[in-house]
Chain A
Amino acid sequence: MSGEFQQAALTLAGAQHFPAWLTDARAQGAAVWQGLAWPTRKTEAWRYTSLLPLENAQWQPAQARQLTDLSELVELDAYRLVFVNGHFAAHLSTECPAALVRFSEADSAQQALIREHLNQVADQQQHLFAALNSSWLQEGVLLHLGANQRLDKPVYLVQVSDQADAQAMNARVLVVLESGAEAELLEHFYSTEADDKGWMNATTECVVGANASLRHYRINLESEQSLHTGGVHVRLAQDARFNGFTLANGSRLKRLDYHIKHLGSGSDLQLNGIYLPRNQQRVDYHTQVEHCVPHCTTTEVFRGVIADSARAVFNGRIHIHPDAQKTLAEMSNRNLLTSDQAQVNTKPELEIYADDVRCAHGATVSQLNDEALFYLTSRGISEAEARVMLSFGFVNELVEGVALEPLQQWLRPRIAQMFGQNDQLTRHIIHD
């Protein structure tokens, strides 16, 4: 029995034009979506995040819109594809190599590749919005690198949202790296207006082949009124490497799932994340890492600074299957609450079914350190600026870990401004 909202969401799919070769993938997604029990507050994966903002709106398909202001883009020499309200904006995009193609432009070999991998990485039974994403498929982006290939520039995918009404958008990315290939991919989501009310449902699937390497960045800085349901799903073959970084503010609903499977021995995962909700915002990161084979490594570090009346959820799960001997896995989650009303629900979980592994996990929740505050003010720094410096300092290590230098430089002032709205409070961070 599927609910009213599930039915309504599906009818949106019917209104879309789509390439005929995506029919099967759409039908498959729709079948799963319809068959899923709708989450309630008792559903563990949705315990602290309400879907009411989704259910309470009358969603329409998003309309294309002209956009000329590119000032919020990361200044990056990259192959760039820009979508505005889910619609491709050719005039804002760059020329792209054959390895990077939109689904609607895919040739028959690429279509075959997409059909081979689509829905194979994301577990739709477990990730309902990935199922919905499939049912809505009409466009997407494929990045495919053959054996030992690499691009001379990073790939930059931009999803801009700018909607006064409840309009729904779909974004789909498929990355296929064959053995020894290397790529760097930045996914950037943002709103042009503070009252953007769009709902973005974005699913990314990555197939990282033997000894291949993917650096992946996902930046979610949409408006407070917007909704986002998204996931990044990764399969790692033997000796494959996935280096992920994600940053999000909060909004009425923002749920981001990372689900990574170590399927070949010797694969390595590094995943760093920062969440910075403030005001009334909500943000919810759920990560799952599955070690299915021996000799793989995972290092996962998430930090959050939660301000005002915001609420954050971090649920990190590492699952070591019986065959995954010699696993090295570490997960750390630290939270800083900068107001009495701020809340976080953190739950790191380790599930271990192999006996020869080294695993560690930890979670902390703290407030601004009074000693550190006094130390800074005793040097003449105002308390307001000291708070900004300490909040930024809490996540600085992860910011400095962003290997894509132009992104790191772009992030610094934007993160600082989330802690202190005027330049006087942030300038010593920005000009560091």
Chain B
Amino acid sequence: MLKINELCASVEDKAIIRQLSLDVGPGEIHAIMGPNGAGKSTLGNVLAGRPGYEPTAGSVTFKGLDLLDMDPEIRAREGLFLAFQYPVEIPGVSNMELLKAAVDARRSHAGLSELSAIDFMKMAREACKAVDLDQSFLKRGVNEGFSGGEKKRNEIMQMMLMEPSLCILDETDSGLDIDALQVVARGVNAMRAADRSFIVVTHYQRLLDYIVPDYVHVLANGRIVKSGDKSLALELEAKGYSWLEDEVA
């Protein structure tokens, strides 16, 4: 699904990701944990193609394609989805308008016919229900005036409608109360499939009680310093991150 090979990346000429390698197979869930400033969010943004996040060396292939060579919209149409840590408020553009444009773009890229307005509406309503958002959210401006939890649930709703093959959740759990966290986790778990992979970026172990990862990686100083199974997350929770940094040093 995704092969990251010795990737280096900079933000404002500052090296953040240093020779990071990671292999994500189809159907797998990888959790990426680490202290603040380790480069967790940078990794997600580099993969999604955010301007200003510059890959400087290494390579990334996504479904066999050169990911770094694609514009952000092409990455999305190929099936990469980034759930934002801080979803952007866009007054004046309705959620519905964004979703229809997004799904149309993804489908036409895949050579599929566009959904009729009625079929799409039905899908969108179901997605709303799945993340416990009232249907009125479809008509509202994108994230406009949404609470923190509503923004994150809106991200998951978009993810459901776009049916991506690789989902990157960038600290989707931060700032969520336990109810919202469970809604998000339920949404993710419902989407698990043999041909769909997840990278769950998080600072806290709590989320992983609900979204159980196949692999846990610890990111520190721009590279993966330790990998393991879900028990590593518990160990990190108990011991914090500093022992790892000591170990690496």
A and B physically associate: yes
Residues of A within 8 A of B (CB): 369-372, 374-383, 385, 389-390, 392-397, 428-429, 431-432
Query: 1/0 per position for B95-134, CB-CB distance to A under 8 A?
Result: 0111011101110010000000100000000000000000
Q: Is the interface of B mostly helix, strand, loop or mixed?
A: helix
Q: Is the interface of A mostly helix, strand, loop or mixed?
A: helix
- A428's contact among B77, B91, B100, by CB below 8 Å, is which? B100
Assess whether A381 is in contact with B102, with CB atoms less than 8 Å apart: yes
A385-B101, A429-B97 as given contacts; A378 in contact with B49, CB under 8 Å:
yes
List of B residues within 8 angstroms of A379 by Cβ: 73, 76, 98, 101-102, 105, 158, 162
**CA–CA, A392 to B92, complex, Å?**
7
A sample of 11 inter-chain contacts (CB < 8 A) reads: A370-B51, A372-B88, A378-B84, A379-B101, A380-B76, A380-B77, A380-B106, A389-B93, A389-B97, A393-B141, A396-B93
Which residue of the partner chain B has the closest CB to A376?
B98
- A-B Cβ contacts below 8 A, count: 90
Assess whether A393 is in contact with B73, with CB atoms less than 8 Å apart: no
Rounded to whole Å, the gap between the CB of A426 and the closest CB of chain B is 11
**CA–CA, A38 to B41, complex, Å?**
62
A428-B100, A431-B117, A432-B97 as given contacts; A377 in contact with B71, CB under 8 Å:
yes
List of A residues within 8 angstroms of B48 by Cβ: 378
Rounded to whole Å, the gap between the CB of A282 and the closest CB of chain B is 25
Tell yes or no: B200 within 8 A of A by CB: no
Query: 1/0 per position for B157-186, CB-CB distance to A under 8 A?
Result: 010001000000000000000000000000
Which residue of the partner chain A has the closest CB to B106?
A380
Tell yes or no: B50 within 8 A of A by CB: yes
A380-B73, A380-B77, A381-B73 as given contacts; A394 in contact with B88, CB under 8 Å:
no
Additional 12 contacts, C-beta under 8 A, given A376-B101, A382-B73:
A374-B51, A380-B73, A380-B106, A381-B102, A385-B101, A390-B90, A395-B92, A396-B93, A397-B91, A428-B100, A432-B94, A432-B96
List of B residues within 8 angstroms of A431 by Cβ: 100, 117
**CA–CA, A58 to B158, complex, Å?**
59
Of A371, A379, A390, A394, which is in contact with the most chain B CB atoms at under 10 Å from its CB? A379
Rounded to whole Å, the gap between the CB of A25 and the closest CB of chain B is 44
- A378's contact among B76, B91, B104, B142, by CB below 8 Å, is which? B76
List of B residues within 8 angstroms of A385 by Cβ: 101
Rounded to whole Å, the gap between the CB of A338 and the closest CB of chain B is 14
Assess whether B92 is in contact with A394, with CB atoms less than 8 Å apart: yes
Rounded to whole Å, the gap between the CB of B62 and the closest CB of chain A is 14
Rounded to whole Å, the gap between the CB of B164 and the closest CB of chain A is 10
- B90's contact among A370, A372, A377, A395, by CB below 8 Å, is which? A372
List of A residues within 8 angstroms of B101 by Cβ: 376, 379-381, 385, 389, 428
**CA–CA, A397 to B105, complex, Å?**
26
Assess whether A377 is in contact with B100, with CB atoms less than 8 Å apart: no
Which residue of the partner chain A has the closest CB to B78?
A380
Which residue of the partner chain A has the closest CB to B103?
A380
Tell yes or no: B207 within 8 A of A by CB: no
Which residue of the partner chain A has the closest CB to B87?
A375
Tell yes or no: B17 within 8 A of A by CB: no
Of A375, A376, A380, A383, which is in contact with the most chain B CB atoms at under 10 Å from its CB? A380
**CA–CA, A85 to B49, complex, Å?**
54
List of B residues within 8 angstroms of A375 by Cβ: 84, 87-88, 90, 142
A374-B72, A377-B71, A431-B117 as given contacts; A382 in contact with B105, CB under 8 Å:
yes
List of A residues within 8 angstroms of B104 by Cβ: 428
